[in-house]
Amino acid sequence: MVCKKCDTEPVYLLTSGVRLCRSCFIKYFEKKVRKTIRINNLIEKGDKICVAISGGKDSLTVLNILNTLTKKKNFELFALLIDEGIKNYRDFTIKDAEKFCNENKIKLHIVSFKDELGYTLDEMIKILGMKPCTVCGVFRRYLLNKKARELKANKLATGHNMDDEAQTVIMNQFKKNIDVSARLGPMTGVKDDKRFIRRIKPLYLMSEKEVGTYAFLKQLMGKFTECTYENDSFRGDVRDMLNDFEMKHHGVKNNIITSFLEILPMLKNKYKNKSTINACISCKEPTSSDQCKACELKDKLKEKA
């Protein structure tokens, strides 16, 4: 079988059954991402966009595509990397991130848990005895928003793909966190607040497999390195479950996302006036409670260290 569009050797089989060669797959991928950006108004003229990168396939794919659009759409772009301090993982991906940014003349800011919080993630886990992904997620979100705002960005682009979002939707269903699901979508949040940098997800409709294929074909990164904590999480269990369903019932992840997008406007409307944004009593960062989750964990670190 050959590529449907140009009769050359295919490298990828779409869910529709269409086979695409390297060139046609790259065109298909980039066109679909640009369409996601366009129909969801993710980027506007004059935006200053911070791209959250890790040096992995998803974030470098987003950075690569957005970098090609800066002149056409007339917006600024820079990258922000959070170094959690995960031994034998983050130190490798930082090198890929620095190499890509240097080659493409993109300003890269690196912020570390150690400098900002006093401990690496590896050290925090030993002190707190908590799930790594819980601690990491809280502090990563905290630092990404805080630093992106300090660097004058008005949007924060992330590498979340369709698999990531499908996992989050199901996790929120399992935990009965429907109000949290209302904040999801290609552009996050239910209402504007200058303290929150709105997140945009250009890869929202691209599967993890498609993103991995694109990153490999474009040679965006070096050797694939998996986070040492990735499998020790609730998300990991949901990921494995959905992957199993996808193998047995093709298109499940896509169906989760497309059906979720149909009800998302209703969720946002329902929770728009129910969400209260306060200032954390400790750090003044935005939070739905009196004290933000990051400061709660900081206090626990002080108590147990």
Residue with tokens 């800066």: 70
Residue with tokens 């990168």: 53
Look at residue 9 in the predicted model and tell me its pLDDT.
82
Look at residue 232 in the predicted model and tell me its pLDDT.
66
CA-atom Rg of the chain in angstroms: 20
The single-letter DSSP state of residue 197 is P
Contact 69, 104 (CB under 8 A): no
Query: How buried is residue 7: exposed, middle or buried, by Cβ count under 10 Å (0-12/13-18/19+)?
Result: exposed
| C-alpha dihedral (236, 237, 240, 246), degrees to nearest 10 | -120
- Put simply, whether the predicted model's pTM sits higher than 0.85 gets the answer yes
The average pLDDT across 187-215 equals 92
Q: What residue ranges in the chain does DSSP mark as E strands?
A: 12-13, 19-20, 48-53, 76-83, 108-112, 155-157, 198-200, 278-279, 286-287
Strand, coil or helix: 279: strand
Who's near 56: CB < 8 A, 6+ residues apart?
93, 96, 159, 221, 225
Contact 172, 74 (CB under 8 A): no
Choice between 84 and 71, residue whose per-residue pLDDT is larger: 84
**pLDDT for residue 242 is more than 90:** yes
Who's near 159: CB < 8 A, 6+ residues apart?
52, 53, 54, 56, 57, 58, 59, 60, 61, 62, 203, 211
Cα–Cα distance measured from residue 240 to residue 246, given in angstroms and rounded to the nearest whole number:
10
Q: What residue ranges in 54-138 does DSSP mark as E strands?
A: 76-83, 108-112
Contact 157, 62 (CB under 8 A): yes
- Percent of the chain having pLDDT more than 90? 72
- Number of neighbouring beta carbons within 10 Å of residue 176: 8
Look at residue 161 in the predicted model and tell me its pLDDT.
97
List the domains of the chain with CATH numbers.
1-36 (no CATH), 40-304 (3.40.50.620)
> How far is the CA of 202 from the CAs of 31, 93, 127, 157, in angstroms?
11, 21, 37, 7
Look at residue 131 in the predicted model and tell me its pLDDT.
87
For residue range 228-238, what is the model confidence (pLDDT) as tens digits? 777 667 888 99
List the structure tokens of 259. 């059906």
**pLDDT for residue 222 is more than 80:** no
Look at residue 233 in the predicted model and tell me its pLDDT.
77
Look at residue 76 in the predicted model and tell me its pLDDT.
95
